[in-house]
Amino acid sequence: MLDTILGALDTTSVFVFLLVFLIGYYWLTSPKNMPPGPMGLPLIGNLLQLRAAGSNQLELLKKWRQQYGDVFAIRLGSKNLVFISDYKILQETFVKNGDIFSGRPSNLYIINQIKKKTGTGVILSEGAIWKELRRVTLMTMRDFGVGKKSLEQRVLDEALAVVEVLEKGEGQPVLFKPLLSKFACNVICSIILGDRFDYDDKTFIELTKLVNLAVSQPLVFAPVNFLPITRFAPAGKKIIHDVVDSFVTIDNFLGTVLKEHEETYDPSEIRDFVDFYIKTRSDSDDAHLYDASNMRRVIIDLFAAGTETTATTLSWILLYFAAYPEVQTRCQQDIDKVVGQGRSATMDDRKNLPYIEAVITEIFRVVNIAPVAVPHVAVKEGKIRQYTVPAETIVIGNIREIHLDPVNWPEPDIFKPERFLDKDGNFCPPKENFMPFSIGPRACLGEVLARMETFLLFCTLVQSFTFVMPQGQKPDLQGQFGVTYSGKPQPFLAKRR
């Protein structure tokens, strides 16, 4: 009996000692003068709270912002994360102090696996490599038509291909996201590879599926990044497999395509992005920066960023049309008045379509396709207002909270395009508290292209169709949080005007 009691005491003592040790270790290893935030548990930090929030993680971030202020910190495993929910503070951090806070996470498991197997590209690289690849990528996209008439016609041709698909299936409910992904992916293909795919091409269908799968998971908060034991659980294995294998398969596909380009390359006749990249490598003293791995990764970055965000934005626009038929009707009236039915809308028409510009801008604001910015990392110790942020801290722009802040946006949850029009009906683009493509040197590379695609396909579809839900159904405007905030799969109708 005594032995049993002593044994129990020993076990209890060991347990209490370990608990006290872990709490002490957690406290001692927590950086000092960090922003306030919710208390976490030893070893796992705030992972359980995020896990318990399930599909409401964005609402949890909102709650923490309300409790702890515009700058708050959480801990996931041993990693420190700082969230910024104020435009001016984010501008100071990502723009004014961009040299300190423009790193990328190098200690997240999934990111490391992707980098190990497919390279860094632009989005995941840092330092001199990132600056050079970013410069070349922007220069090449500009030279191959981004923001110019040559690319505008490619986008219009692709928009008409979408119209053709919808005409063939008129009267049948359509899941629009896959179709819009093909549209956006084909525009990228025309820039990068100099060609487009038929929408029923098996290779192309698989490519768009892989791109969507690669960016469908909320990687920022995935436990596998922060708690090694979760990588062996079925859910952990699945997310690693889905994301990493998707990137690897896309990388292999591009390897085959790029090999064909290398074999047919002619420096006197530059056909597309890939040829320009090859030429840059040949002319550069730093050819190692432009190796095949980096080339493939840069292209994957363009596919991932350019396809998912554009397709998601356009999907939301059509869903909001079904939910707000009066907005759709006014857009149709404006298109009919300015463009008519005898030609396609062009970028020159933007200045004469202020309400459509306001609708697109309000979709960006109220939906928040990218609710949190791609994570930045402090490359060295820095300051965010009065707080000291150690090197390797992950810093995230809480864009959704900025876009839905009632201080800056009256009735922020209400869809109201008129907020971007003046009393004379002219479009008033927001000058601050608005950043759908993030800000600073790490802002989205494809913003100009995405805006062009969105405007031209928007106008083409409004000119051609009326979008409605099947009889008896209502649109669900609650989304799903992955890399982007996408709408739930809901088929609806495109009725020819």
* DSSP structural state of residue 375: P
Bridge partners, residue 466, by sequence? 495
User: Which tokens sit at 88?
Assistant: 């001016």
Convert the pLDDT of each residue in 318-347 to its tens digit.
Answer: 999 999 999 999 999 999 999 999 899 999
Q: Give the span between the Cα atoms of 268 and 248, in whole angstroms.
A: 32
User: Which tokens sit at 328?
Assistant: 């759709």
6 falls within a domain:
no
User: Which tokens sit at 422?
Assistant: 């003046």
Q: Which domain holds residue 199?
A: 31-496
Q: Give the span between the Cα atoms of 261 and 465, in whole angstroms.
A: 39
Greatest alpha-carbon span in the chain: 96
460 falls within a domain:
yes
Q: Give the span between the Cα atoms of 224 and 110, in whole angstroms.
A: 7
Given this model, what pLDDT does residue 15 score?
A: 47
Burial class (CB in 10 A: 0-12, 13-18, 19+), 137: buried
Residues in Cβ contact with 6 at an 8 Å cutoff, skipping those fewer than 6 apart: none
* DSSP structural state of residue 264: H
Given this model, what pLDDT does residue 19 score?
A: 47
Residue 2 pLDDT class (50, 70, 90 cuts) = very low
Cβ atoms of residues 126 and 103 within 8 Å: yes
The answer on pLDDT for 460 being more than 60 is yes
Q: To the nearest 10°, report the CA torsion of 34, 59, 481, 95.
A: -40
Lowest mean pLDDT among 30-34, 178-182, 356-360: 30-34
Residue 164 pLDDT class (50, 70, 90 cuts) = very high
The answer on pLDDT for 218 being more than 80 is no
Given this model, what pLDDT does residue 388 score?
A: 96
The answer on pLDDT for 219 being more than 80 is no
User: Which tokens sit at 343?
Assistant: 């030609």
The answer on pLDDT for 372 being more than 90 is yes
Report which residue type is found at 381: E
169 falls within a domain:
yes
The answer on pLDDT for 6 being more than 60 is no
Q: How many domains does the chain have?
A: 1
Given this model, what pLDDT does residue 137 score?
A: 86
Residue 142 pLDDT class (50, 70, 90 cuts) = confident
Given this model, what pLDDT does residue 17 score?
A: 47
Residue 76 pLDDT class (50, 70, 90 cuts) = very high
Mean pLDDT of the chain: 89
Given this model, what pLDDT does residue 454 score?
A: 96
282 falls within a domain:
yes
Q: Give the span between the Cα atoms of 318 and 467, in whole angstroms.
A: 7
Convert the pLDDT of each residue in 103-132 to its tens digit.
Answer: 998 888 998 998 889 888 888 888 888 888
**Cβ-based neighbour number of residue 194 at 10 Å:** 15
Given this model, what pLDDT does residue 230 score?
A: 92
Convert the pLDDT of each residue in 30-53 to its tens digit.
Answer: 667 899 999 999 989 999 999 999
Q: Give the span between the Cα atoms of 36 and 22, in whole angstroms.
A: 21
Q: Give the span between the Cα atoms of 422 and 196, in whole angstroms.
A: 41
pLDDT (mean) for 264-280: 87
Cβ atoms of residues 395 and 376 within 8 Å: yes
Lowest mean pLDDT among 75-89, 395-409, 477-491: 477-491
pLDDT (mean) for 58-66: 97
Residues in the chain: 497
The answer on pLDDT for 20 being more than 80 is no
289 falls within a domain:
yes
444 is in an annotated binding site: yes
Burial class (CB in 10 A: 0-12, 13-18, 19+), 287: exposed
Query: From its phi and psi, is residue 425 left (phi > 0), alpha (psi between -120 and 50) or beta?
Result: left
Per the confidence metrics, is the pTM higher than 0.85?
yes
The answer on pLDDT for 170 being more than 80 is no
Q: To the nearest 10°, report the CA torsion of 210, 212, 217, 219.
A: 80
**Cβ-based neighbour number of residue 249 at 10 Å:** 17
Helices 149-168 & 176-192 angle (0-180, nearest 10): 150
Output the DSSP codes for 291-330: -HHHHHHHHHHHHHHHHHHHHHHHHHHHHHHHH-HHHHHH
10 falls within a domain:
no
pLDDT (mean) for 193-209: 91
Q: Which of 448, 102, 454 is nearest to 302 (CA)?
A: 448
9 falls within a domain:
no
Given this model, what pLDDT does residue 29 score?
A: 59
Given this model, what pLDDT does residue 436 score?
A: 95
pLDDT (mean) for 340-362: 96
Lowest mean pLDDT among 241-255, 288-302, 374-388, 442-456: 288-302
pLDDT (mean) for 13-19: 50
Residues in Cβ contact with 490 at an 8 Å cutoff, skipping those fewer than 6 apart: 175, 319, 469, 473, 475, 476
Cβ atoms of residues 38 and 73 within 8 Å: no
375 falls within a domain:
yes
**Cβ-based neighbour number of residue 153 at 10 Å:** 14
CATH code: domain of residue 300: 1.10.630.10
Convert the pLDDT of each residue in 278-333 to its tens digit.
Answer: 888 888 777 677 778 888 888 888 888 788 889 999 999 999 999 999 999 999 99
The answer on pLDDT for 406 being more than 60 is yes
pLDDT (mean) for 196-219: 86
